[in-house]
């Protein structure tokens, strides 16, 4: 089930610098920048999923302009890296506005100087909220549950759906230009279940997993699997980062999972 859950949406490099690497080894061309107000919202999203708290203002932000990836000493190409010495995040310029990539490095900062990508955080708690591919996905295998083939096959209507926004105020979202919608699907039952995922077209093996609608338009992430296994009490989630235009005067959002949708979230006009 790893490909279904961890690799939804675009695939990012997520090689990260060693937690003990000195700040002097920053990538060539890295320049410091001030984090936008949207970053503070993304920080709140990561604190919420991880259960960890930290000082956003203590993080130093750098980017390598006009790049998709940069070389990380001792690792390889990456579009983001965190350095514990100085609490520094470096981003490829093309990823500086990618909530998934930025939140990945924020999670490193909140966890602190530990090696690799602890599956407890990058899969169980914040999977779908932060990018997790390549080496991160490999390390997260430790948390992927073993599918019980005897578990009942159920429709998505049996799963509890929830959608929340960050920020909760549309006036704030409009001023910073971003709104993050987090959609959660939770198995509240006492036993694991296999949730049916609908097919897009007859004969197709791809069906929608998570999605959203924003003021009548939206998107779905797709999966090649026909079912999603949810152990008892388990939650799967996905964060969608939505650009908010200054022309938008209000928002109507609806999260979706498989064939089911959440209630409409209405953020009042300014």
pLDDT greater than 80 at residue 3: no
Q: How confident is the model at residue 169 (pLDDT cuts 50, 70, 90)?
A: very high
* Average pLDDT over the chain, rounded to an integer: 89
Please give the Cα distance from 147 to 153 (Å, whole number).
12
Q: What is the mean pLDDT of residues 234-262?
A: 94
SS (H, E, C) the chain: CHHHHHCCCCCCCCCCCCCCCCHHHCCCCCEECCCCHHHHHHHHHHHHHHCCCCCHHHCEEEEECCCCCEEECCCEEECEEEECCCCEEEEEHHHCCCHHHHHHHHHHHHHCCCCCCCHHHHHHHCECCECCCCHHHHHHHHHCCCCCCCCCEECHHHCEEEEEEECCCHHHHHHHCEEEEEEEEECCCCCCEEEECCCCCCCCCCEEEEEEEECCEEEEEEECCCEEEECCCCEEEEEEEEECCCCCCCEEEEEEECCEECCCEEECCC
The neighbour count for residue 26, using CB atoms within 10 Å, is 22
Omega within 30 of 0 (cis) for the link into 167: yes
Q: What is the pLDDT of residue 18?
A: 43
pTM score, two decimals? 0.90
The neighbour count for residue 209, using CB atoms within 10 Å, is 26
Whether CATH 2.90.10.10 fits 153-267: no
Residue 241 Cα distances to 15, 203, 255, angstroms: 22, 31, 12
Pick the more confident residue, 109 or 268. 109
pLDDT greater than 60 at residue 230: yes
Q: What is the pLDDT of residue 199?
A: 82
Name the nearest CA neighbour of 181 among 42, 50, 80, 54.
42
Sign of CA dihedral 104, 97, 46, 179: negative
Residue 247 Cα distances to 114, 171, 174, 244, 269, angstroms: 44, 12, 9, 8, 11
pLDDT tens for each residue of 56-89: 999 999 999 999 999 988 778 999 999 999 999 9
> b/e map of 88-105 (b: 16 or more CB within 10 Å)?
bbbbbbbbbbbbbbbbbb
pLDDT tens for each residue of 185-211: 999 999 999 999 988 777 666 789 999
CA 104 to chain centre: 8
Residues 87, 111 contacting (CB under 8 angstroms): no
Please give the Cα distance from 257 to 240 (Å, whole number).
13
Q: What is the CA radius of gyration of the chain?
A: 19
Sign of CA dihedral 128, 221, 140, 145: positive
Sequence spans of domains, the chain: 2-143, 153-267
């Amino acid at each position: 089930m790893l490909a279904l859950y961890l690799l939804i949406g675009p695939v990012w490099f997520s090689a990260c610098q060693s937690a003990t690497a000195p700040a002097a080894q920053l990538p060539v061309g890295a320049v410091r920048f001030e984090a936008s107000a949207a970053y503070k919202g993304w920080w709140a999203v990561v604190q919420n999923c991880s259960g960890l708290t930290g000082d956003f203002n203590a993080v130093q932000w750098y980017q390598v302009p006009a790049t998709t990836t940069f070389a990380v000493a001792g690792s390889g190409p990456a579009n983001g890296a965190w350095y514990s010495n100085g609490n520094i995040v470096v981003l490829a310029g093309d990823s500086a506005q990618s909530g998934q990539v930025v939140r990945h490095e924020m999670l490193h900062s909140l966890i602190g100087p530990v090696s690799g990508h602890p599956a407890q955080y990058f899969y169980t708690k914040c999977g779908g909220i932060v990018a997790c591919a390549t080496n991160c996905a490999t390390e997260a295998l430790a948390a992927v549950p073993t599918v019980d083939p005897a578990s009942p096959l159920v429709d998505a209507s049996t799963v509890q759906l929830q959608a929340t926004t960050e920020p909760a105020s549309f006036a704030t979202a409009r001023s910073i230009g971003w709104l993050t919608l987090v959609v959660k699907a939770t198995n509240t039952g006492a036993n694991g279940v296999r949730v049916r995922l609908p097919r897009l077209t007859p004969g197709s093996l791809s069906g929608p997993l998570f999605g959203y609608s924003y003021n009548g338009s939206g998107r779905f992430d797709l999966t090649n699997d026909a079912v999603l296994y949810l152990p008892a009490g388990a939650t799967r989630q996905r964060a969608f980062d939505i650009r908010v235009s200054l022309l938008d005067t209000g928002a109507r959002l609806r999260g979706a999972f498989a064939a089911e949708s959440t209630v409409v979230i209405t953020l009042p006009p300014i």
